[in-house]
Structure 1
């Protein structure tokens, strides 16, 4: 009975068993204010904080609970952001509040506040953070895909900056870029991979990446390397690739010459001298032979 009639000594004894103000609050409400209304929770929360003498010791969790009881959604989101390092909680809570229409109430109460802008900002920020993770970058893409135009700009900026540890990963990134019509991003990645292969002496792989990049200058540079190597050592490498160039050789004049010269070389080795001679004449007439290769050709 002493608890029900708010006897100070009785409640002082109860406080000894409460570690936090939000443990004290439900006991007080249950016994002393059973008819409490939801809009009164904020004032009773402050009362409990005062009774527990923790006004100057509030942590982020305390502030979140207090703001929630006061129906201050913006303060709840702000304090949650301070609690979490990765932003997952704040992002998803805000998204739920936005889609449930709860933030539209805040728009009416707070000047120059946009629920849509807040939701988009948090998703963009969280997606950008995930893009920097070694294994979660694809998850980050799915978040950025829901950020209208800003998300696409972020993807365009971040995709080429993902570390390319393997060719398989590079292929995955290119597919993601193509799925979003970011063709130029895929081309950049192809050129980066091509240059890596050049440095490792893998001209065949480098040429494959160059063809994917659709960069005629890069393709010509690699075709030159093939031809100069042949002029020096008298041997063409990666003949399987050259044999299967097909329409891809149209990427540059130098590659056309490389492909046709391989064809001439193959005919000559097969002792089809007439066909080889006709092809050689056509090459001479085409004027696409590099000057440094004339001596080798003749």
Structure 2
């Protein structure tokens, strides 16, 4: 029972906090990042429809688009951090966001190498070297600072920078930096090391020679380095430069203890692993698990890191080619509301190679993550709900499933402006959600009715769009009551009434409002004959006139039958605007008004008594006096209209018979 209650509570929550608040949604950068990645997602869906599944080249293209989006927004956040340096309160969210994006880029690039842009045999390490070079550039920046200094060899990081470039296979730059030393042209050890660096066999995916040929070249070079170590280990002096060069040579032969001594040059165990493999097993012929375990233990023994993090587990799963665990770990380690795992699994699902991964029910896994990510976007509905629709329309194999997800999401989107409402209505029409569209229009109509100064014209417009007859009748009554109170022409919203069009058939009360508006327009233009026809034949004879307004309609008839100035400030009409049948209908309507008035009032001599309200108000004397004064005013008004109408009708009929 408690579990059911919890699920009900979760469904009923409508705030923006019902899903975990990711740091990706923390600031203004989030909209650009999420929108651009949504564009790439739609690009993948379009490609998969045109050529199902994606070809290898298109898959690589899409993956690099995702990586480009991550990298570009990471750089923008880094620029913002630089601009806001010193404002720690403003930096917290940016720092978290930059860390997440940096880790996402590293993981995505590695997964692209291992699962998407799969290299030929023996060239994996070349791709991993490029991976390391792309994401770890701290010492590259230090090198730029060192080169412009007056005496580079005196820079505190001179030897660290040389070793950093050598350990990532950038031997050309390492040799050039060695040449900056003042002894590089005269000291034999410098010359030997420079020569070995320049002769390092480079491997990349575009090598024309076969792997075993490269391995032979690398073996000869490796033996040359070992020979250089034997020749110079005993002859090397205690000079710092000679000690550093000997350390460099030991690194080039893959001495594990030497790697421990330069552990500070590595930001992670996998960076150390790639460098160690470059000098011990460049074609990765041995068991990768042994290599990972050895380098990981070496890194954590020599560093201050406490142990493997969730991100380390993700990298480890990737290198072990365990795609299911990659999906699991990426959904756990990133504070991104499933952004990474959603787009990565979708790319695998739409590719030509997903059958090779042998994942059971990958379509269900993919749809589940897409729905979760779309729900995360809906949780921040003010900015991202439209984008989440573009994800949900690609969920499920049946159109009914997609409709269900989209409708359930749209029903919890709120709106504060008409522009937001219009976007919602456009989406409803796109997916043919007619009932939801009418409900939204009804909400907007009621919104305009709230407050001390309701906008009745706008409320009527939305009530008509909602096709709600009861709400339309209520708003029309409000418009007519407001008109009675002010007795001014501009209280009837002319623009709204003029644009009602064919929707007039929704309500008889709406028909009456339009007819009454037309009647007043005709009177103002002096077309009294047409006005009289509309007033008597279309309005008085219908049953759509509200009881409270019927007296006003009869009062409007007086200018049409009596030769005097209108009480509503109209010009004097010509004679004989009404015929005898219309006069009879007018008198009959007057009798109905008088009958209702008599049922409301009871007369005892000359004293007016309240039979309807006295029991309700009890001893509230002041309220009784106000009600009595109002009823007395209404009774006098009815008597005046009755007297004027009967006299005018009699004179009008007499003139009619004479003519």
Scaled by the length of structure 1, the TM-score of the pair is: 0.86
Could you tell me which runs of 5 or more consecutive residues in structure 2 were left unpaired when the two chains were aligned: 1-225, 230-249, 555-659
Equivalents in 2 of 1:100, 1:41: separation in Å?
26
How many residue pairs get aligned? The number is 291
Alignment of 1:166-177 (within 5 A): 166-177=417-428
Equivalence for 1:274: 529
Equivalents in 2 of 1:43, 1:259: separation in Å?
86
2:540 counterpart of 1:284: yes
Contact 1:243/1:263, CA 8 A, preserved across alignment? no
Alignment of 1:66-81 (within 5 A): 66-81=316-331
Equivalents in 2 of 1:273, 1:35: separation in Å?
101
Cα distance change on mapping 1:187 and 1:42 into 2, 3 Å:
farther
Equivalence for 1:57: 307
Cα offset, 1:255, TM superposition: 0.7
Cα distance change on mapping 1:23 and 1:244 into 2, 3 Å:
closer
Cα distance change on mapping 1:49 and 1:239 into 2, 3 Å:
same
Equivalence for 2:374: 127
Q: Which has the higher contact order (CA 8 A, sep 6+)?
A: 2
Equivalents in 1 of 2:275, 2:528: separation in Å?
102
Contact 2:515/2:538, CA 8 A, preserved across alignment? no
RMSD: 2.7
Equivalence for 1:192: 443
SS of the equivalent of 2:369 reads helix
Alignment of 1:1-298 (within 5 A): 1=226, 10-18=255-263, 19=266, 20-37=268-285, 40-53=287-300, 57-86=307-336, 87-107=338-358, 113-133=360-380, 134-148=382-396, 149-200=400-451, 201-235=454-488, 236-280=491-535, 281-298=537-554
Cα offset, 1:120, TM superposition: 0.9
Equivalents in 1 of 2:261, 2:507: separation in Å?
84
Cα offset, 1:178, TM superposition: 0.9
Equivalence for 2:122: none
Computing the radius of gyration from Cα coordinates, the structure with the larger value is 2
Equivalents in 2 of 1:105, 1:22: separation in Å?
26
SS of the equivalent of 2:284 reads coil
Cα offset, 1:24, TM superposition: 2.7
Which stretch of structure 1 is more off in the superposition, 29-38 or 234-243?
29-38
Cα distance change on mapping 1:101 and 1:67 into 2, 3 Å:
farther
Equivalence for 2:610: none
Scaled by the length of structure 2, the TM-score of the pair is: 0.41
SS of the equivalent of 1:136 reads helix
Cα distance change on mapping 1:117 and 1:101 into 2, 3 Å:
farther
Contact 2:476/2:510, CA 8 A, preserved across alignment? yes
**Which digits, 9 at most, give the CA deviation of each residue in 1:126-145, with x for residues without a partner?**
12212233222222221122
Cα offset, 1:117, TM superposition: 0.8
Cα offset, 1:43, TM superposition: 4.3
**Which digits, 9 at most, give the CA deviation of each residue in 1:199-255, with x for residues without a partner?**
141111111111222222222221121122223333342122213322121121111
Contact 1:124/1:147, CA 8 A, preserved across alignment? yes
Could you tell me which runs of 5 or more consecutive residues in structure 1 were left unpaired when the two chains were aligned: none
